Structure 1
């Protein structure tokens, strides 16, 4: 059994009380007259709930105040990069994703968390899903961040529409299956497309689902020696498939369609299928959703690989220059704990729990009841995700829906712009890939010189 298969090993010791957990880890305590942890974080609903709960629960128990600075995603990434690269110490903790963690760790911007994990047994590191543990580690194997929540990707479809049309969704579909089903479900005269897929340019938009298609079709952005492979037969086949599927059975004006647009299309009954983030299921199954109870969920489609779902997490990292890392760890330990998930369940409802990071979440009867339609397939998707080996060949850097190097943000943006133009009919797929190959060769050459 491989490291990424089966359920994560469970600790046998019983969990201690929350108060005990919060008083653990006496390492590097902050100055007693300044018990303030400064947190720079992405601004989203889960973080907003955390901010509402912190003073009444964490600060009240520990005496440690938390000063939050929430910013939109694009802004927060720049601010975190600037502050942590300078090691200014202005912020103690920041939200980092699995895209940045290893790079930040290898550059010495993050403090390794292993000593705190070892002393804080109540945190139960073994309960963190193994793919997330791997993706939040540095090249030295040490842990540099702890997840607040995680997600993968899967295929969402309208069970009622499939039943009306006499269609059957395989338990584990291939992309060939999806293309055939999309063609049959596509009914423009009824205002419903066969599938919704992102065509909007951006490394975090179209590039994310597209790269998982590349992986399972046998392609890769770079081989293990950093040779660009965008014009290889496998990469070209994946691109032609993706562009063709969107053009033939996808949404109107697909080159302008992103995650939010596909979510809106599904909720309004305008798409029969949608391949995207597992996080989308929560909105589709919300109490106010018009399609609640009508959706089905199956693993990400495959071709040559056993699985193909991506992996993403917003996690907490401690700036290496922080002068209060002990208090910073106490905050992280609480915010990523089992106890915090239970608190959210009681205060805001179990469907709002920042899930996707712990095995124990999926054992909770309350959570399984609230998220029963998608909980099991989400857990499976995250467990099956392998950030170190997502395809059929060795990779020079980790990542499933991205290549885990800083240059990929610009490269992913550029290539997605070219492919989006192909979707819009402004150029051929071959022309798009030739342009992308030139950009990728520059990135690869830079890494081979290091």
Structure 2
């Protein structure tokens, strides 16, 4: 009898193991390309919840630095490579790729997903002809983050809506080289979505534009000269060493470590400058992005979003993941695990009606104010033939923007003058646009 019981027990164990192995082999595997930003890393840390709810779907992550991600997924989707089932892309790519038929339309999401709760400006930016082609993981504008203690020591008070001149003056007074405190940290790393996101939005507030109404480049304008020279002079006076290598993540680290007095960047950074990783959390204040009095502020509009390429062979499983990762229940999951302040911002109207969130996130009101004042359809002081605040919504912009960004990063690194950088930007942009048929 003992031998029989042992035999049946062993058989049962083998049977369970075989069943589990069979279930594993039958599971669908999704490959997701994503950016190495904090909110995306948080999502990967919460995968136990998804795995428990969907044991028939395995997820493999490819996490990349921002510039590398953009190059990687653009190459894959334009060649139909089919390397990924889900892409992390933004407000620039979605309308272009959706119109090209490269993305799966998301017009059949379940009712409990509550599509209408997505903030209208974000939803519109991810749609083509009223059809949604991506769902936002987090949305953002840009604003000013600053050290209230250093501002007070400098004898200044940050306005809710500062000018660029005030920012420059405050940054100079807050700079303390002996104690490794830089008055200001701004993006300098080359890339259409890195330094050019900042500088394009900044140029809007100086009255500049990428193109006139006939698609002629405008880098030879006084407004662009004022923008770039102001940026370079301020960074030389008050910015960190090696700023040409700093993008979003590098500046975030500097600010968290107490090495920046002012940082103008994405509103999605709000949670990370006041969380436990920030050594200056109790001293952080928020204001709108600066202006020059011309009616436009230096703030952008963006959403890091999840989309399914038409080359994916696992569309239904991918939609299941999108519904989990960007649906209304995901915010509750993050809040339970990380606190309300860590909930991905800028996507759902209901989040900004939730007192749990607004009470925990001191940047919430300023985030919405910044998002509401960014206008992709009228981004500049003078009229333009394009849409997009910190980018130009044409396919050619990705290549042109990166090349221009390289010229401006070289100027920041002291390798050429502002005038030479602008002249090179003017020439290469006109050449590329002429070759493209504009």
Cα drift, residue 174 of structure 1: 1.4
Secondary structure of the residue aligned to 2:89 is strand
Is 1:366 the counterpart of 2:359 in the alignment? no
Q: Distance in 2 between matches of 1:380 and 1:127?
A: 18
Q: What does 1:272-287 align with in structure 2 at a 5 Å threshold?
A: 272-287=261-276
1:334 paired residue among 294, 299, 324:
324
Unpaired runs of at least 5, structure 2: 1-24
**Partner Cα distance (2:30, 2:386) in 1:** 31
Q: Is the 8 A contact 1:131 1:387 kept in 2?
A: no
Matched, 1:382 2:382: no
Please identify which structure carries the higher helix content. 2
* Counterpart selection for 1:130 from 120, 128, 131: 120
* Shift, 1:376, TM fit: 1.6
Contact kept? 2:137, 2:326, Cα under 8 Å:
yes
CA 1:330–1:300: 2 relative to 1, 3 Å: same
Instruction: Tell me the distance in 1 between the aligned counterparts of 2:121 and 2:305.
Output: 13
Tell me how large the CA RMSD over aligned residues is: 2.6
* Residues 314 and 66 (structure 1), Cα distance of their counterparts in 2 relative to 1, 3 Å cut: farther
Quote the residue 2:62 is aligned against. 70
Q: Is the 8 A contact 2:86 2:309 kept in 1?
A: yes
Q: Distance in 2 between matches of 1:292 and 1:172?
A: 21
Aligned equivalent of 1:41: 33
Match in the other structure for 2:253: 264
For structure 1, the 5+ residue unaligned runs are 1-32
Contact 1:131 1:385 survives alignment (8 Å): no
Identify the match of residue 400 of structure 1 among 356, 365, 389: 389
Alignment match, 2:106: 113
Q: Partner of 1:98 in structure 2?
A: 91
**What CA distance in whole angstroms lies between the structure 2 residues aligned with 1:395 and 1:137?**
21
Report if the CA contact (8 A) 1:387-1:400 is conserved. yes
Q: Deviations over 1:98-157 (max 9, x none)?
A: 22112211211012223x14xx3322222212221122123x342211101122211111
Taking a change above 3 Å as real, the CA distance of residues 391 and 66 of structure 1, as seen in their structure-2 partners, is: farther
- Cα displacement string for residues 154-211 of structure 1 (whole angstroms, at most 9, x for unaligned residues): 1111111111221011111111221222233334355433222223333333222111
1:418 offset after TM fit, Å? Answer: 2.4
> By how many angstroms is 1:298 displaced?
0.4
Larger Rg over CA atoms: 2
Instruction: Name the CA distance, whole Å, in 2 between partners of 1:374 and 1:71.
Output: 27
CA distance in 2, matches of 1:277, 1:418: 23
How many Å apart are 1:43 and its aligned residue?
4.8
> In structure 2, how many angstroms separate the alpha carbons of the residues matched to 1:43 and 1:275?
20
Of 407-416 and 157-166, more deviation after overlay is shown by: 407-416
Q: Secondary structure at the match of 1:242?
A: helix
Residues 256 and 277 in structure 2, CA contact (< 8 A), matched pair in contact too: no
Say if 1:221 and 1:264 are closer, same or farther in 2 by CA, change over 3 A: same
Moved more, 396-405 or 229-238: 396-405
Q: Give how far 1:333 is off.
A: 2.1
Equivalent residue number for residue 435 of structure 1? 424
Q: Distance in 2 between matches of 1:220 and 1:386?
A: 14
